[in-house]
Amino acid sequence: MKSMGTHSGFHWYTLYQSCGRRFYFRSILGYKPRFTPPPLINGTAFHLGKETFYSTASEAKALKAMSLYLTEARGEIEFNEDFAIMRARLPLMLSSWIKAHGASDLKHYTFLALEREFSIPFPNGFVATVRPDAVVRDSNGAIFILETKTSGASAALTETAVSFGDQATVQLAAARRAFPRARIEGVIPDILFWLKSSRSAREIRCIRGALVTRTREQTDEWERSTASLLSEISQKALALEHGAEPVTLFRRNTEFCVSYNKACEYLHICRESLDIPFGRAPHGFTFDTVLRMNVRVKKGKKS
């Protein structure tokens, strides 16, 4: 998945799990950083190129779609150097992947879904959504999910994150609901690794990781815990409307202040007592209504 997407999307509610305060800034107040981190732009562009190749079988169309996206996303990239690096590296990455795996995938798999949103309804009325990169079926009738990741730091850590993370769990839970009679084998990590500091395209590695599986018991456990998590978010939003203090409801998790070798985008405002009229973002941020929850926060409410 490329972004948080919707209020029921995987990245939306896992943001709450990682840091309640960051969730409050992003999803309650609607503060969106003015610029998007380059790795997110890079990953989105690569995903789009792969999706276009899978749907058209044309490398030229895939490269063009990726280039057009980068042009449109230019305003989200803070530094010219980062934009120039992506312009130079991404076509080489995509072409290498097509040669290593993409062309072969079209021959050996039937594509059942590309970037299709699947839903998982819960008894309490909540719905969780997930958008697998590709759901495919082989000649034996087995179904697999291809989960794309790009990395400039560590291919091994990237594969481990897919193997043990909840994203594979929710993808398999959704696929089993969408194809109840099919044989869902698992998630295949599809990793494009090129060391960030490398200048040689010869060092690009296109890796198909070990198959990631989940038992029915594991996906059922995920569904129960996620239903509880979504209820908790809803209850806190309601408490906020009734005057509860945000600092109590949405606690910060300092483990994520500096993670993935970078500082949190909200770090410089996180410990301040904000007194900004609701609907107006602080310096360095824009006000986003798309991913904001519909919560009535009093004007001037401090965080």
231-255 pLDDT, tens digit per residue, is 999 899 899 888 888 888 999 999 8
Query: 23 lies in a domain?
Result: no
Instruction: Tell me: pLDDT of 27 over 80.
Output: yes
Dist. CA 150–CA 41, nearest whole Å: 11
Dist. CA 212–CA 60, nearest whole Å: 32
Instruction: Tell me: pLDDT of 207 over 50.
Output: yes
DSSP annotation of 171: H
Nearest-5° angle of CA 249, CA 228, CA 21?
A: 25
Query: 194 lies in a domain?
Result: yes
Phi-psi region of 277 (alpha: psi -120 to 50; beta: other; left: phi over 0): beta
Query: 60 lies in a domain?
Result: no
pLDDT at 68: 98
Dist. CA 175–CA 291, nearest whole Å: 25
Instruction: Tell me: pLDDT of 206 over 50.
Output: yes
Strands 183-193 and 142-151: parallel
Joined tokens for residue 153: 């730091």
Phi-psi region of 243 (alpha: psi -120 to 50; beta: other; left: phi over 0): left
Tell me the CATH number at 207: 3.90.320.10
Instruction: Tell me: pLDDT of 230 over 70.
Output: yes
Instruction: Tell me: pLDDT of 81 over 70.
Output: yes
Q: Which amino acid is at 105?
A: D
Question: What's the pLDDT tens digit per position in 242-289?
Answer: 888 888 899 999 988 987 677 898 988 887 765 555 567 888 898 887
DSSP annotation of 299: T
Query: 247 lies in a domain?
Result: no
Give the model's confidence band at 6: pLDDT under 50 very low, under 70 low, under 90 confident, else very high. Answer: low
Q: What is the mean pLDDT of the chain?
A: 89
pLDDT at 13: 86
pLDDT at 291: 65
Question: What's the pLDDT tens digit per position in 38-54?
Answer: 999 999 999 999 999 99
Domain count, the chain: 1
Domain that holds residue 149: 109-214
Dist. CA 22–CA 17, nearest whole Å: 10
pLDDT at 296: 62
Q: Which residue has the higher pLDDT, 228 or 8?
A: 228
DSSP annotation of 225: H
Give the model's confidence band at 136: pLDDT under 50 very low, under 70 low, under 90 confident, else very high. Answer: very high
pLDDT at 3: 37
Q: Tell me the pTM.
A: 0.88
Q: Hunting for tokens 């009734």 — which residue is that? A: 242
Query: 196 lies in a domain?
Result: yes
pLDDT at 276: 53
Dist. CA 37–CA 2, nearest whole Å: 13
